[in-house]
Chain A
Amino acid sequence: MNPHQPFPTGITEVFLSQWRNRQLIVQLTKREVVGRYRGSLLGLAWSFFNPLLMLAVYTFVFSVVFQTRWNVAGEDKVNFAIILFVGLIVHGLFAECINRAPGLILSNSNYVKRVIFPLEILPCVALGSALFHAAISLVVLLAVQFLTNHSLPWTILIFPLILLPLLLGTAGFAWLLSALGVYVRDISQVTSIFTTVLMFVSPLFYPVSALPKNYQVWLKLNPLTHIIEEGRNVLIFGRMPDWTNWAYALGASIFISTAGFWWFQKTRKGFADVL
């Protein structure tokens, strides 16, 4: 990488730069995952306990306390929690990245000022570690589902494909926000409010069908809605996703990631001046 050339912004570079720096991404992600629980007695086991405890709490609160029903056939107490949990995993993955994005460059000013660092991988590292925790949660989810239902639908294999547009889109937003956060420090305040609001305007605690028809349209404008609903279809209900919608989502997410990357590369020259 020649730091004296303008940074490439093209759509291929979005993926190429991640590929070139894959060693570094893996190294840093590993560090971050392990580092989160460093010093604690149970260590990495916490990443298992966390989702497990969350699942238990949600089951209790929503099924026992509120006695909420999802209104699908054959559901019992645990199933409600599992259905809820899919939404939480998807939203959690997105929210973690978005909340961390504005501070990514700020907190790594060493990498900006002292070395030639491929800064564009930092959002991917954040995404990687969020993905790891999502994966652990997913394992917990599938395990509990298997224990209660004694079977898993084969469509769970499609889930990574469902997640693909989410990952690309999240990366795009993370690039946009991490670059913006360097210049406008207020961004991080906005993102935490935004992700909390998003939690309630996404079908996490209720199915889309629970809303009146004229509100459903608005809910579907939320990109997370599609991911969460399709995630439930393949993980729990064993239904095939709507591939046309999926293709649209993928197209949109590629656009978002390219745009975010373009913005990041265009503005990064000024990072060192502001930090």
Chain B
Amino acid sequence: MSFNDIAIRVQNLSKCYEIYKRSEDRLKQSLIPRLRRRLGSEPRNYYQEFWALRNISFEVRKGDAVGIIGQNGSGKSTLLQIICGTLAPTNGVVEINGRVAALLELGAGFNPEFTGRENVFMNATLLGLDHYEIESRFEQIAEFAGIGDFMSQPLKTYSTGMVVRLAFAVAVNVDANILVIDEAISVGDELFQRKCFSRVEAMKRNGATILFVSHSCAAVVELCNGAILIDAGEKLMAGDPKTVVGKYQRLLYSPTEKRFAIREEILSSVKEPPELATPSKEMRSFLTDEDRRVDATEGFFDPSLMPESTVRYEPQGAHIDSPKIFAESGNVVNCLRKGKTYRYTYNVRFESTATNVRFGMLIKTMTGIELGGVASAPSPSEAIPLVASGSSVNVEFQFRCALNPGTYFLNSGVVTSHNGEAETFLHRILDIHMFKVLPLNKNTSVGTVDFDGMARVHVYAPHPDKQSLGRIFDDVTDR
């Protein structure tokens, strides 16, 4: 492949930080090893090495959007800084083909004493625009930032979100060929995030290359057509964003003792792909057989997926325990596939006799919105009339997973009522269990709930001969 198609080429990049215990060691290091070498003796080091990056190589083609994911401290930001050239690598080469606009950390090198306007001018000058070019774009930038009169205030009076807005507005308005975004967008409010994403999409369509670091896996899947997983300074894998995000999440939620094994597994499972996934120029792409195969699986069990927000009510004569989700095959899972049917079960141990007993469950979003649930009987009068003390009950709720990819929580509860009085909880546990709906290949459903919807698009183009409109293309989204 010729270099003309490549926007960023990183070869065997390593970065080693020298960690000094005392500051005079730094001075010693700069003098003594050289002297010793000159005197012919073995030089010794006064620092400890910390390898932030080890032997990273990849290429990003023009027009690609590549997400870099990894845990905090895995070396993502260091990598971006080296690519942007603000940090020098210890070993390795970076080649850049095009004008880079970077949003490194927050604020992108703004001066807090300067006004927004002055910062825009300075930042754009640094990105290679001359005064007149900036003048002509200033309106555009100000409009995108949308911070109003704050533009003429010093930056130190801004909120974090406003700084990011301004930085982003400059970065996307300087005609950069390569846009490097480090986590910055997530600071903005939701509306601004949407605005950023759509602008980045537009830049992508115009052939800009995007390098994107985020902890939001959803954003990486949505925005990128390639992803790189970095862990402890090493590139574990590169490839299709969904696959990479899946592996990342597996790694992220893995218990410490299993981490190493999972890491090795990811490393060995990946045959070094020759290059990143091809950008999909088509708006509508169809599922491959592989996609269908993956989507058809029942999901899997991730032992690390345990709720930390569990709230247990004081038991009033019954105990709920052993919540589980079964796939149709009978396997225990907690990573679900959309569209499949699952069974959610738990056991209830009765320590005293109860009348008119009903059982319930509820599925909630991460933010606590109650999506829906099932009760074992429609009303107390139709409930189980009597459960004897010492009984054990297994409750099973079947449900179809009509939810879009995301994380969900489950509630459980047992109620009783006595002589027509209001129902009271025998036991209730909030967030007793959680599950995840796995990312899906080419999902056309948006939001939280999947209504099993389908889109039909009829395109009418003006007919050259007749006055009428001719129907030239029909499309039904692939499900």
Measured CA separation A184–B30 after assembly (Å)? 12
Stretch at the interface among B78-86, B440-448, B463-471: B78-86
Residues of B within 8 A of A2 (CB): 85, 96
| Residue B107 CB within 8 A of the other chain | yes
B84→A3 contact, CB < 8 A: yes
Residues of B within 8 A of A111 (CB): 109
Residues of B within 8 A of A115 (CB): 86, 102, 104, 108-109, 123, 126
| Residue B49 CB within 8 A of the other chain | no
Among A2, A110, A114, max chain B CB count under 10 A is at A114
A269→B109 contact, CB < 8 A: no
A24→B126 contact, CB < 8 A: yes
Please encode chain A, from 1 to 26, with 1 for each CB lying within 8 Å of some chain B CB and 0 for all others.
Answer: 01110000000000000000001100
Given contacts A31-B114, A116-B84, A272-B87, contact A110 B131 (CB under 8 A): no
Residues of A within 8 A of B95 (CB): 4
| Residue B423 CB within 8 A of the other chain | no
Residues of A within 8 A of B121 (CB): 27
- The residue of chain B having its C-beta at the shortest distance from the C-beta of A108 within the complex is B111
Residues of B within 8 A of A27 (CB): 118, 121-122, 125
Residues of B within 8 A of A114 (CB): 86, 102, 104-105, 107-109
CB-contacts of B91-107 with A (<8 A): 93-96, 100, 102, 104-105, 107
A113→B86 contact, CB < 8 A: yes
Measured CA separation A114–B101 after assembly (Å)? 11
- The residue of chain B having its C-beta at the shortest distance from the C-beta of A3 within the complex is B85
Within the complex, the shortest CB–CB distance from A82 to chain B, in Å, comes to: 36
| Residue B147 CB within 8 A of the other chain | no
Measured CA separation A112–B111 after assembly (Å)? 12
Residues of B within 8 A of A242 (CB): none
A184→B81 contact, CB < 8 A: no
Interface residue SS majority, chain B:
mixed
Residues of B within 8 A of A112 (CB): 86
Residues of B within 8 A of A43 (CB): none
| Residue B478 CB within 8 A of the other chain | no
| Residue B422 CB within 8 A of the other chain | no
Measured CA separation A243–B390 after assembly (Å)? 112
Residues of B within 8 A of A238 (CB): none
Please encode chain B, from 324 to 343, with 1 for each CB lying within 8 Å of some chain A CB and 0 for all others.
Answer: 00000000000000000000
- The residue of chain B having its C-beta at the shortest distance from the C-beta of A118 within the complex is B126
Measured CA separation A235–B369 after assembly (Å)? 81
Given contacts A23-B125, A117-B109, contact A272 B118 (CB under 8 A): no
Measured CA separation A2–B128 after assembly (Å)? 12
B88→A272 contact, CB < 8 A: yes
Among B86, B104, B108, max chain A CB count under 10 A is at B86
CB-contacts of B155-205 with A (<8 A): none
Given contacts A24-B125, A27-B122, A27-B125, contact A184 B27 (CB under 8 A): yes
Residues of A within 8 A of B23 (CB): 185
Given contacts A4-B94, A114-B107, A272-B81, contact A35 B113 (CB under 8 A): yes
Please encode chain A, from 186 to 200, with 1 for each CB lying within 8 Å of some chain B CB and 0 for all others.
Answer: 000000000000000
Residues of B within 8 A of A110 (CB): 107, 109-111
B114→A116 contact, CB < 8 A: no
Measured CA separation A113–B113 after assembly (Å)? 18
Measured CA separation A2–B88 after assembly (Å)? 12
Within the complex, the shortest CB–CB distance from A6 to chain B, in Å, comes to: 10
Measured CA separation A24–B131 after assembly (Å)? 10
Residues of B within 8 A of A160 (CB): none
A117→B126 contact, CB < 8 A: yes
CB-contacts of A240-275 with B (<8 A): 269-270, 272-273
Measured CA separation A27–B130 after assembly (Å)? 12
| Residue A159 CB within 8 A of the other chain | no
Among B100, B111, B130, max chain A CB count under 10 A is at B111
Please name 16 further chain A to chain B contacts, defined as beta carbons within 8 Å, in addition to the given A24-B125, A115-B86, A116-B126, sorted by A numbering: A4-B93, A23-B130, A27-B125, A31-B114, A110-B109, A113-B86, A114-B105, A115-B102, A115-B104, A116-B84, A116-B85, A116-B102, A117-B126, A183-B30, A273-B18, A273-B88
What would be 23 A-B contacts, judged by CB atoms less than 8 Å apart? A2-B85, A2-B96, A3-B84, A4-B95, A4-B96, A23-B130, A23-B131, A24-B125, A28-B122, A31-B118, A113-B86, A114-B105, A114-B109, A115-B108, A116-B86, A116-B100, A117-B109, A117-B126, A185-B23, A269-B88, A272-B81, A272-B86, A272-B87
- B contact residues vs A (CB 8 Å cutoff): 17-18, 23, 26-27, 30, 81, 84-88, 93-96, 100, 102, 104-105, 107-111, 113-114, 118, 121-123, 125-126, 130-131
